[in-house]
Amino acid sequence: MAEKIRAESAPITRSRLRATVEEPVTSMSPPGAWLVLLATLPGDDLKLAEGVANEKLRAARDQGRVSTVSIYKTRLRGRYVVVLGEPAGRSAALAAAAEARRRNLSADAFAEADGGWELIGNAPFPTETRSASSNRDADRL
């Protein structure tokens, strides 16, 4: 008992401190997860991908669907993909892709197994707004 008290009251050593530090968590889908892809875009234009994701979210909401729209970066080709909903099982993803096509969210929506892609973020993304005065100034140039 005395040893236990000494151990608990002992100063924290570097090795004990290291054990309490958590590693950063990368956002990965569970193994075997499938995603519903609405669009694939070049990997060098994040603003374009964000704009498309915002449009898809707006369209889904206009249809009464409260859904998540996300952007992932693919590993192999480094492209951005706009994804509808959360990672799901294969059957659920195939059904959601068919529903997205039926509702005209994306004419070529399809389901694909998550290849360990990096989650960039969820829509809505901030949009660039310009004031009327900045438009007048631009017209003068």
Taking CA atoms, 133 is separated from 28, 128, 136, 138, 141, in Å, by: 44, 15, 5, 9, 13
Q: What is the mean pLDDT of residues 66-95?
A: 95
Domains in the chain: boundaries:
34-122
Residue 20 φ/ψ region, left for φ over 0, alpha for ψ in the -120 to 50 degree band, beta for the rest:
alpha
- pLDDT for 72 equals 98
Number of residues that make up the chain:
141
Q: Provide the whole-model pTM.
A: 0.71
Span 10-69, pLDDT tens digits = 555 544 444 444 433 345 556 689 999 999 999 999 999 999 999 999 999 999 987 899
